[in-house]
């Protein structure tokens, strides 16, 4: 199976929990439109058309375009938190847990790069209440990674003078994969994840 086929399959499975089928189709169409055109340049008519529905059908499931973006952002950030917490709470040394966290987080941002671009880069389009909710979720992703790095420093595994700054750098490195990843490029999501896990361990001065 090609990288393009693998990532297409991952994108298709990303919203399996959204029901009914019409609501899921609209959400998938919104992700594609927001990633391609940007939130502000996308209309509800664009989204409905991509889903093969009338504009009126969209409002049965989502009151506004912002509600769609909020749902996308909420689900995406919940998945990100789950990925990082699973690694943070796993067995093994801090280096092993940080490697698992980065590998899995990067793999998700590559395999579901279309979704991830919307989740990570359209935050400012949300209203104050919805934005505040997503910012709170982002703090949880920061806390998960920061906790692993702090554990490594405490155990003498890592040499990190600035834990908050390093945490921000690690997360930024991982998230940016969604911006540039190309399914026709030379590396698969797994290969990018492995590369970035190695880079991050070098960044924190992990002892061999």
As a 3-state breakdown, the chain gives helix, strand, coil percent values, each rounded to 5, of 75, 0, 25
Write down the pLDDT at residue 1.
42
Write down the pLDDT at residue 4.
45
pLDDT digits (tens, 9 = 90+) for 75-131: 999 999 999 999 999 999 999 999 999 999 999 999 999 999 999 999 999 999 999
pTM of the model: 0.88
End-to-end alpha carbon distance in the chain: 35
pLDDT digits (tens, 9 = 90+) for 125-168: 999 999 999 999 999 999 999 999 999 999 999 999 999 999 99
Contacts of 205 (CB under 8 A, 6+ apart): 158, 159, 160
């Amino acid at each position: 199976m090609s990288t393009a086929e693998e990532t297409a399959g991952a994108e298709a499975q990303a919203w399996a929990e959204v029901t009914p089928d019409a609501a899921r189709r609209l959400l998938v169409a919104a992700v594609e439109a927001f990633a391609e055109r940007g939130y502000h340049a996308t209309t509800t008519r664009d989204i409905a058309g991509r889903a093969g529905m009338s504009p009126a059908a969209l409002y049965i499931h989502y009151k506004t375009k912002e509600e769609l973006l909020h749902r996308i952002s909420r689900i995406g950030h919940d998945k990100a938190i789950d990925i990082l917490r699973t690694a943070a709470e796993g067995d093994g040394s801090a280096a092993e847990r940080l490697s698992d966290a980065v590998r899995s987080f990067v793999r998700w941002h590559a395999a579901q790069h279309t979704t991830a671009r919307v989740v990570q880069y359209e935050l400012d389009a949300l209203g104050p209440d919805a934005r505040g909710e997503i910012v709170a979720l982002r703090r949880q992703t920061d806390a998960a990674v920061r906790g692993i790095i702090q554990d490594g420093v405490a155990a003498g595994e890592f040499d990190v003078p600035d834990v908050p700054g390093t945490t921000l750098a690690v997360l930024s490195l991982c998230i940016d994969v969604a911006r540039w990843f190309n399914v026709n490029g030379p590396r698969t999501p797994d290969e990018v994840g492995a590369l970035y896990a190695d880079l991050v361990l070098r960044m924190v001065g992990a002892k061999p």
